């Protein structure tokens, strides 16, 4: 079964003046297999975050069809579908709802009518999983951005979601926080092979870890494929202001200066060979 | 000529509360001449507290800071002097796009110069120039700042500081949260300002930026200044980086690998991929 | 030396901190009622005030709070009290009087002022002890518990409680925002302390607008986060935090109840320990 099927999705909003419509997404179609991880990259304003909000029904589409886990997303199915998905937003502060770490993890459980007797165990289990077990009674103001995002992840995972969205979840973090979240994401993938993960990111290194990349540009899928495939289109990416991950950038720079090497080889091997040539 | 001098500066938050937290401990250094410097260090290492001493938003609990002809110490300084200090040292905060508040972009940018008692005409002229510098098109001047995209807002906020024509521009994580293109545009702008004579001091977690643009780095660790280094020195000091939790740019790995394999690269020359490849070419006699 | 203002929650683990918030809220209200009970003689009134002060001393000691902090909280009241005293001396002309430089001062005027002062201090002290030993969140839960009956007349009590708890949660965040915006605008030459009225208005606008935009942004993000995590203001929810009434609370409750009913009885029956000998 496909986890996500998006067909001819369009979204626009009216700008304040002269009722001009601004197109954010235009006739976008793609599908995602269950257990797949997809990265959406693209310049600011390409519609990535809008897409995430449409997929969790925080925004209403103009046209097109969204099918999640075999069920069409509409008013009737939204409550049911939301139980099967979770989203981590960009701003660590603005999604911390509870007064303390434990209250925040429990917030979703309370909404899902998990009995009181079971909650403490679940809270502890997921706090442990994201490495926040020693911080259960801490208030958000005494946590770092990375720690708050880990709590958000615990909150999402505790609902046992089938689809997880990460909307630039690392954008406001320092390098340490970003590393923590990336490691946690990899772990999450490994532990739940059936979990589908969609992430929006500006960090090409993060996109590289996904099974597939979809490049959005002006509301359309501009490029789509495995990371290797997408990043082999250096020129196209450059045109819309995107960068390559470091290794690929280095390879490309070497190639331009007429160094010859096997492109599939590890960058370290390539460098060694060049040094000894 | 810009000059920043810290003389045994201490700073403690909530000095007299039961839980005082020491943010700066015995910081002494001098930045002089025309500089493009970075302050790096972990979150909570005191970077932001340090820069706020430079334009007297915070005053040292002990010690003194001398910026140009101004001395900032524990005592109260007359507000007039602080104003002219703040005109000379422009501090742009993190996520500065949120500080915009005027009806139009142009008005917002001219707000700073007006506060420093420029006439309306002068202020508008300075604002227009600053907006041009940061690459905001003229048709945007009369728009509300709230209509702009995040990256544009950030540039307008920076223009608001540039319009005051400060000698030293201090920026706290100016590229955080921007897409690669937006970040690059802002960095190009700083480079241009630097070339035109402004000294730049930047707080950042982006080590690629430090290596590429900066001529010296202040490394902060747990409220103390570890030292001032040239980027091409600092990033090869493995122990120091490990201790302070700094990740060297990826390119450093490659430089080391090349050196281990017999190339004698000139580290000072290597600032990014282009210059690395150039160095390799030079070594290989190509 | 500056100290934490009393009234802010202190993170200690004492007997008072551990008491159930619902009980503490009730106890505070009972103490306040005692403060306003009327006894047959002034001597009795002040005896009870003395007893209440004794309690306050004991509570402060148990909760590891310092008496000095309480004095600091009272400080702003001095001016008001002096003012009140002068007014009373000028206005009250009943009962006995003594003469100060041939100016008549009536005892009633002094007592009236003393009553108001002591009562205010007592109330302040009890509420400060409550907030210093109870987490704001727990107070919210307690309030929600007491207001629960109002759901019968369709008052959305749990929504109100949620709003209060979110507000409490975001106070530190908004304080940080305020600090950041003030510094950002100060860097652009805004002087928040001096200046003409027009400049001051502008200074405040330059702070308020960014604060509002940022607060609106935050609340819209927060609403999104709550919605996708399945929050439905009108729906059913289970509870993670359940307050438990322990033996500790029970004994404390019995004690307070005894004290309260004793005071109430004395007041209603008009019993005077001093048989009208004193005052």
Per-residue pLDDT for C161 more than 80?
Answer: yes
The Cα of A172 is separated from the nearest Cα of chain B by a number of Å equal to 6
pLDDT tens sequence across A92-125:
999 999 999 999 999 999 999 999 999 999 999 9
Substitution target from C238, C242, C243, C244 for chain A, most A beta carbons within 10 A = C238
The pLDDT assigned to C2 comes to 41
Identity of the residue in A171, A246, A271 whose CB atom sits nearest the CB atom of B177: A171
The pLDDT assigned to C10 comes to 82
Is C190 part of the contact surface with chain B (CB cutoff 8 Å)?
Answer: yes
CATH of the domain at B219: 3.40.50.300
Is B272 found in the same domain as B259? yes
Backbone φ, ψ for residue C68 (5° rounding) = -55, -35
The pLDDT assigned to A122 comes to 97
Is A35 part of the contact surface with chain B (CB cutoff 8 Å)?
Answer: no
What are the start-end ranges of the H helices in chain A?
Answer: 48-55, 78-82, 101-111, 116-129, 145-157, 175-191, 204-207, 227-231, 234-239, 246-256, 267-276
CB atoms within 10 A of CB A98: 23
Q: CATH 3.40.50.300 spans which residues of chain A?
A: 33-61+76-242
Strand residue runs (E) in chain B: 2-13, 21-33, 36-40, 62-67, 70-72, 89-92, 168-172, 199-203, 216-221, 224-229
Is B72 found in the same domain as B175? yes
pLDDT tens sequence across C165-212:
999 899 989 999 999 999 999 999 898 887 788 888 989 999 999 999
Measured between beta carbons, the chain A residues lying within 8 angstroms of C173 are 93, 140-141
Backbone φ, ψ for residue B88 (5° rounding) = -80, -30
Dmax over CA atoms of chain C, in Å, equals 77
Report whether A62 contacts A181 (CB < 8 A). Answer: no
Percent of chain C with pLDDT over 90: 51
Is B53 found in the same domain as B15? yes
Is B135 part of the contact surface with chain A (CB cutoff 8 Å)?
Answer: no
Is B57 part of the contact surface with chain C (CB cutoff 8 Å)?
Answer: yes
Report whether A102 contacts A139 (CB < 8 A). Answer: no
Q: How far apart are CA B171 and CA C68, in angstroms?
A: 43
Residues shown for chain A: 277
The Cα of A227 is separated from the nearest Cα of chain C by a number of Å equal to 30
Measured between beta carbons, the chain A residues lying within 8 angstroms of C228 are 56, 58, 82, 85-87
Q: Which two tokens stand for residue B177?
A: 């949260």
The pLDDT assigned to C278 comes to 67
Beta bridge partners of residue B218, listed in sequence order: B39, B228
Report whether B54 contacts B4 (CB < 8 A). Answer: yes
Q: In degrees to the nearest 10, what's the CA dihedral of A206, A208, A213, A217?
A: 60
Contacting residues for A202 by C-beta, under 8 A, at least 6 apart: A41, A168, A171, B178, B179, B180
pLDDT tens sequence across A139-183:
998 999 999 999 999 999 999 999 999 999 999 999 999 999 999
C230-246 average pLDDT score: 88
Backbone φ, ψ for residue C243 (5° rounding) = -85, 135
Would you say the C-alpha torsion B120, B122, B127, B132 has a positive or negative sign?
Answer: positive
Contact C238 A116 (CB under 8 A): yes
Instruction: Spell out the CATH class of A33-61+76-242.
Output: alpha beta
Q: Which two tokens stand for residue C249?
A: 């609370």
- Listed by number, the residues of chain C in 192-231 with a beta carbon closer than 8 Å to a beta carbon of chain B are 193-194, 205-206, 209-210, 213-214
DSSP state, residue A265: S
Beta bridge partners of residue B170, listed in sequence order: B91, B201
Is A43 part of the contact surface with chain B (CB cutoff 8 Å)?
Answer: yes
pLDDT tens sequence across C7-50:
778 888 899 999 999 999 999 999 999 999 888 888 889 989 99
Report whether A93 contacts A39 (CB < 8 A). Answer: no
Q: ipTM, 2 decimals?
A: 0.91
Q: How far apart are CA B53 and CA B39, in angstroms?
A: 14
Is B127 found in the same domain as B56? no
DSSP state, residue A169: T
Three-class secondary structure of residue B141 per DSSP: coil
Backbone φ, ψ for residue A77 (5° rounding) = -95, -10
Residues shown for chain B: 286
Query: Does residue B90 lie in a domain region?
Result: no
DSSP state, residue B25: E
Contact A97 C237 (CB under 8 A): no
The Cα of B17 is separated from the nearest Cα of chain C by a number of Å equal to 5
Q: Which domain holds residue B258?
A: 249-286
Q: How far apart are CA A169 and CA A149, in angstroms?
A: 7
Query: Does residue B67 lie in a domain region?
Result: yes
Would you say the C-alpha torsion B46, A167, C223, A11 has a positive or negative sign?
Answer: positive
Per-residue pLDDT for C1 more than 70?
Answer: no
Provide the number of structural domains found in chain B.
3
A204-231 average pLDDT score: 94
Identity of the residue in B57, B111, B146 whose CB atom sits nearest the CB atom of C186: B57
- H helix count then E strand count, chain C: 10, 2
Is B224 found in the same domain as B172? yes
Measured between beta carbons, the chain B residues lying within 8 angstroms of A175 are 205, 247
DSSP state, residue C1: -
Q: Which two tokens stand for residue B92?
A: 């742009």
Report whether B117 contacts B91 (CB < 8 A). Answer: no
Per-residue pLDDT for A271 more than 60?
Answer: yes
Report whether C133 contacts C63 (CB < 8 A). Answer: yes
Is C76 part of the contact surface with chain B (CB cutoff 8 Å)?
Answer: no
The pLDDT assigned to B76 comes to 67
Lowest mean pLDDT among A83-87, B247-251, C87-91: C87-91
DSSP state, residue C5: P
Is C133 part of the contact surface with chain B (CB cutoff 8 Å)?
Answer: no
The pLDDT assigned to C5 comes to 58
Among A179, A204, A188, A113, which Cα is nearest to A156's? A188
Backbone φ, ψ for residue B169 (5° rounding) = -110, 120
Is B73 found in the same domain as B171? yes
Q: How far apart are CA C192 and CA C204, in angstroms?
A: 8
pLDDT tens digit at each of 286 positions of chain B: 689 999 999 999 877 666 678 899 999 999 999 999 999 999 889 999 999 999 999 999 999 999 988 888 887 666 678 888 999 999 999 989 999 999 999 999 999 999 887 788 999 999 999 999 999 999 999 999 998 888 899 999 999 999 999 999 999 999 988 888 889 989 999 999 999 999 999 999 999 999 999 999 999 999 999 999 999 999 999 999 999 999 999 999 999 999 999 889 999 999 999 999 999 999 887 6
The pLDDT assigned to B169 comes to 96
Backbone φ, ψ for residue B8 (5° rounding) = 45, 60
Is B118 found in the same domain as B148? yes
Is B200 part of the contact surface with chain C (CB cutoff 8 Å)?
Answer: no
pLDDT tens sequence across C103-127:
888 888 888 899 999 999 999 999 9
Q: Which residue has the higher pLDDT, C180 or C92?
A: C180
Measured between beta carbons, the chain C residues lying within 8 angstroms of A114 are 238
Substitution target from A86, A91, A95 for chain C, most C beta carbons within 10 A = A95
Q: Which two tokens stand for residue B167?
A: 């000698």
- Listed by number, the residues of chain A in 215-244 with a beta carbon closer than 8 Å to a beta carbon of chain B are 241-243
Distance from CA of residue C176 to its chain's centroid?
A: 24
Q: How far apart are CA A104 and CA A83, in angstroms?
A: 17
Is B208 found in the same domain as B171? yes
First to last CA, chain B: 41
Three-class secondary structure of residue A87 per DSSP: strand
Q: What's this model's pTM, rounded to 2 decimal places?
A: 0.88
Q: Which two tokens stand for residue C100?
A: 């100060």
Cα separation values, C211 from B110, B183, C175, C216, Å: 20, 25, 10, 9
User: What mean pLDDT value characterizes chain C?
Assistant: 88
Beta bridge partners of residue C106, listed in sequence order: C97
DSSP state, residue A94: T
Q: How far apart are CA A207 and CA A190, in angstroms?
A: 17
The pLDDT assigned to B16 comes to 62
Query: Does residue B84 lie in a domain region?
Result: no
Identity of the residue in A43, A90, A277 whose CB atom sits nearest the CB atom of B181: A43
The pLDDT assigned to C4 comes to 53
Percent of chain C with pLDDT over 70: 96
Q: How far apart are CA A175 and CA B173, in angstroms?
A: 13
- Cα R_g (chain B), whole angstroms: 20
Q: Which two tokens stand for residue C79?
A: 């001016």
Cα separation values, A37 from A165, A211, B27, B215, Å: 10, 5, 47, 41
Q: Which two tokens stand for residue B19?
A: 């839980």
């Amino acid at each position: 079964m496909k986890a996500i099927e998006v067909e001819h999705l369009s979204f626009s909003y009216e700008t304040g003046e002269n009722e001009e419509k601004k197109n954010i997404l235009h006739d976008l179609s793609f599908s995602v297999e269950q257990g797949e991880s997809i990265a959406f990259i693209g310049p600011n304003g390409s519609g990535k975050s809008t897409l995430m909000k449409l997929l969790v029904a925080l925004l209403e589409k103009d046209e097109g069809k969204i099918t999640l886990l075999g069920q069409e997303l509409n008013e009737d199915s939204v409550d049911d579908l939301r139980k099967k998905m979770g989203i981590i937003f960009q701003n660590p502060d603005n999604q911390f709802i509870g007064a303390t770490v434990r209250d925040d993890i429990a917030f979703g459980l309370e909404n899902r009518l998990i009995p009181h007797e079971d909650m403490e165990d679940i809270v502890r289990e997921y706090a442990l999983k994201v490495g926040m077990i020693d911080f259960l009674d801490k208030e958000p103001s005494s946590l770092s951005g990375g720690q708050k995002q880990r709590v958000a992840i615990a909150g999402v995972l505790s609902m046992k979601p089938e689809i997880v969205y990460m909307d630039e979840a690392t954008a406001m973090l320092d390098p340490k926080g970003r590393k923590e979240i990336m490691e946690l994401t990899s772990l999450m993938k490994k532990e739940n092979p059936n979990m589908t993960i969609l992430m929006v990111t500006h960090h090409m290194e993060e996109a590289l870890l996904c099974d597939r990349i979809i490049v959005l540009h002006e509301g359309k899928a501009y490029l789509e494929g495995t990371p290797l495939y997408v990043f082999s289109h250096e020129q196209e990416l450059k045109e819309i202001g995107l960068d390559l991950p470091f290794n690929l950038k280095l390879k490309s720079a070497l190639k331009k200066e007429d160094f010859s090497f096997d492109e599939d080889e590890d960058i370290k091997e390539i460098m060694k060979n060049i040094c000894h040539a | 000529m810009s000059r920043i001098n810290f003389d045994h500066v201490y700073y403690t938050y909530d000095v007299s509360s039961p839980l005082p937290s020491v943010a700066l401990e015995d910081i002494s250094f001098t930045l002089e001449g025309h500089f493009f410097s970075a302050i790096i260090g972990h979150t909570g290492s005191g970077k932001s507290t340090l820069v706020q001493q430079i334009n007297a938003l915070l005053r040292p609990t002990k010690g003194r800071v001398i910026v140009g002809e101004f001395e900032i110490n524990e005592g109260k300084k007359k507000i007039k002097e602080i104003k002219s200090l703040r005109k000379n040292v422009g501090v742009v905060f993190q996520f500065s796009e949120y500080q915009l508040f005027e009806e139009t972009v142009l008005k917002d940018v001219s707000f700073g110069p007006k506060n420093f008692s420029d006439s309306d005409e002068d202020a508008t002229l300075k604002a227009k120039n600053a907006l041009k510098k940061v690459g905001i098109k003229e048709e945007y001047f009369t728009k509300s700042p709230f209509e702009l995209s995040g990256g544009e807002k950030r540039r307008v906020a920076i223009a608001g500081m540039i319009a005051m024509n400060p000698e030293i521009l201090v920026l706290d994580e100016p590229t955080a949260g921007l897409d690669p293109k937006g970040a690059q545009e802002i960095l190009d702008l700083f480079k241009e300002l630097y070339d035109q004579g402004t000294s730049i001091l930047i707080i950042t977690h982006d080590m690629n930026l430090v290596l590429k643009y900066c001529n010296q780095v202040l490394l902060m660790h747990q409220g103390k200044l570890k030292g001032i280094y040239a980027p091409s020195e600092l990033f090869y000091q493995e122990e120091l980086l490990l201790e302070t939790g700094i990740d060297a740019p990826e390119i450093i790995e490659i430089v080391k690998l090349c050196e281990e394999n017999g190339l004698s690269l000139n580290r000072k020359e290597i600032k990014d991929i282009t210059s690395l490849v150039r160095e390799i070419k030079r070594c290989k006699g190509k | 030396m500056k100290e934490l203002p009393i009234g802010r929650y202190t993170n200690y683990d004492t007997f008072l901190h551990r008491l159930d918030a619902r009980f503490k809220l009730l106890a505070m209200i009972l103490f306040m009622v005692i403060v306003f009970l009327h006894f047959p003689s002034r001597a009795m009134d002040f005896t009870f005030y003395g007893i209440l002060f004794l309690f306050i001393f004991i509570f402060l000691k148990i909760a590891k709070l310092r008496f000095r902090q309480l004095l600091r909280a009272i400080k702003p009241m001095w001016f008001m009290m002096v003012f009140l005293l002068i007014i009373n001396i000028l206005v009250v002309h009943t009962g006995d009087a003594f003469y100060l430089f041939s100016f008549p001062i009536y005892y009633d005027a002094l007592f009236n002022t003393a009553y108001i002062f002591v009562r205010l201090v007592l109330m302040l002290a009890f509420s400060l002890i409550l907030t210093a030993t109870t987490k704001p969140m727990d107070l919210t839960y307690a309030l929600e518990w007491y207001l629960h009956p109002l759901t019968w007349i369709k008052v959305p009590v749990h929504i109100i409680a949620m709003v209060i708890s979110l507000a409490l949660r975001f106070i530190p965040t908004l304080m940080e925002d305020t600090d950041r915006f003030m510094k950002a605008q100060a860097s652009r030459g805004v002087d928040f302390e001096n200046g003409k009225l027009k400049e001051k208005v502008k200074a405040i606008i330059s702070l308020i607008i960014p604060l509002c935009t940022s607060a609106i942004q935050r609340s819209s993000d927060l609403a999104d986060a709550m919605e996708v995590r399945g929050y439905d203001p009108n729906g059913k929810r289970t509870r993670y935090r359940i307050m438990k009434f322990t033996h500790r609370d029970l004994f404390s409750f019995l004690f307070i109840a005894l004290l309260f009913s004793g005071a109430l009885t004395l007041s209603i029956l008009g019993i005077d320990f001093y048989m009208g000998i004193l005052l």
